[in-house]
Chains A and B, each alone.
Chain A
């Protein structure tokens, strides 16, 4: 079985991200980068699938040079192969352009059975790239997956649970499938020292737009239909009122204020 996992490098979720507003770019200096938290679950699910059903894992990441770090981490966790999709032409790609590049990588890898992605990134937070990859390749589209129940590689079938509004949906799907996973589907492991040491010496192979055979007119800022035209800092909420006094009085006061809103039915 061939398992692909898509991972992204994002700014640390604990850091206060600064945006260079006139230039519309992110100030990356001084900000720690991490693997997108949702992708850690995707990577772990790929490792579990390999353990339970056999196969090879290919980890891919689209991003600038520095993003190679997340692939090195994947190597330390013993994925079989990594590829960094990097090209100046990719900069500023919107969701369709991004999924087009990733889908092109799936085609180049070939004979893919399962693609694992995180539910969304914590920076762009669009949460649609997995669905767009599935739609482009004609793969089964399985989003918000909270459990992989079974994989039948011989008969090209998978059964998963999806955590959607109101409950859990159990779906059987044909392979190949693109699966986006939610937090809590597993407990991501940490790489061991030997894995880290080994990965530190490994080469991260790069694939450019030409390597992937992508049409440069369809990627990057120029090739994307949607673009960001304005970035603003939302006005601060402004600190409200600190209610002071004995708990008895304070509680009575807040209860009155909330009841006056006429929201409580």
Chain B
């Protein structure tokens, strides 16, 4: 139907992260608000397994484009296929995850369709029949609500973990509508030569627990201790810009306006003062624990629990106590 809500299902080399289906829950809520249905759309070399999983998460219809040319994600191939589906069916709303792949396809598809999109949304709602997309601006100091009253579909990318995962029900199934879309290999611009897997086991953006360090950590070895705490908790290691710029820890760990935006359930900030540009990347975490020597550090104004003290004494104590309580 023309006012359906479509959700792009992200996958990579046949590797399916359950997180790919997280938007089906909010997609359903929006569709209910519009009196329509949530549908999934999938592009890939083979789509049947992905479609089956989408049915488990509550959609009854999956639109798909299959082909050898879609082995491995390539933005031009995927965006051309996606925009062909979106212009044929013109759903009311199309949602993508604000990951590298989701952003690449959403942006290129919107450009093909010649209109803008709202990126990295943290709130989505139907309000008086209108689709409202909410996102953070200026380092999270402001929240802006964006609408698109001129073009369809209204495209949004959604920050991972902004909405609860829908429940999985393996008894459900549905219909796969396969569309053909051909594009010649010679007409594509890119070729993937290799993928070098990161040694960092847990993806910062998807982590439920993050242990993060700032200027107060003082030295590269300090991050070893934070890494130990992260490991005990099954979490990921984060860092402030000051720590990254000092060369103590790699940029891939940076949280903040010029790093990653994260929304874990627990964020433990060690030796981080809480500069605006760092808060921008983590202030929506569910629970923030701050450890800092300076009782006036702005981080304490944003922390659920604050510990005024030397992290070199506090962190080893936390490691010891977590280990004994959790039996690790």
Contacts and interface: CB of A to CB of B under 8 A. Distances in A.
Interface in A221-245: 224-234, 236-237, 239-244
Contact of A184 (B116, B118, B251, B307): B251
Given A164-B100, A241-B304, A122 B266 contact: no
A66 to B, nearest CB: 18
B111 A132 contact: yes
Nearest to A99: B111
Nearest to B232: A264
B137 A123 contact: yes
Interface residues of A, number: 87
A38 B257 CA distance: 11
A168 to B, nearest CB: 4
Interface stretch (B35-43, B171-179, B214-222, B315-323): B315-323
Given A97-B116, A255-B325, A250 B309 contact: yes
Contact of A232 (B143, B208, B259, B317): B143
A166 B326 contact: no
B258 A13 contact: yes
Contacts of B139: 13, 17, 122
B142 A182 contact: no
Contacts of B108: 131-132, 134-135, 141
Interface string A150-191: 000000000100111111111111100100001110000000
A135 B79 contact: yes
B143 A259 contact: no
Given A13-B277, A255-B322, A96 B197 contact: no
B196 A167 contact: yes
Interface in B203-235: 203, 205-206, 208-209, 233-234
Contacts of B76: 135, 140-141
Given A140-B76, A140-B189, A251-B314, A14 B116 contact: no
Given A16-B276, A231-B142, A144 B305 contact: no
Nearest to B187: A138
Interface stretch (B47-55, B57-65, B147-155): B147-155
A167 B109 CA distance: 25
Contacts of B26: none
B321 A255 contact: yes
A37 interface: yes
B110 A132 contact: yes
Contacts of A122: 139, 257-258, 277
A132 B306 contact: no
Interface stretch (B1-9, B162-170, B283-291): B283-291
B319 to A, nearest CB: 9
Q: Which of B108, B136, B233 has the most CB of A within 10 A?
A: B108
Contacts of A182: 251
Nearest to B113: A96
Contact of B111 (A96, A163, A251, A261): A96
A125 interface: yes
B301 interface: yes
A265 interface: yes
Interface string B171-196: 00000000000000000011111111
A88 interface: no
B115 interface: yes
Nearest to A258: B266
Given A183-B254, A255-B322, A96 B114 contact: yes
B195 A37 contact: no
B117 interface: yes
A143 B325 contact: no
B197 A167 contact: yes
Interface of B: 75-76, 79, 99-101, 103-104, 106-112, 114-120, 132, 136-151, 189-198, 203, 205-206, 208-209, 233-234, 244, 250-252, 254, 257-259, 265-266, 275-277, 283, 287-289, 295, 300-309, 313-314, 317-318, 320-322, 325-326
4 closest residue pairs by CB, A with B: A94-B116, A128-B107, A135-B111, A131-B107
8 contacts: A13-B277, A16-B141, A128-B106, A171-B190, A225-B150, A239-B302, A251-B317, A263-B209
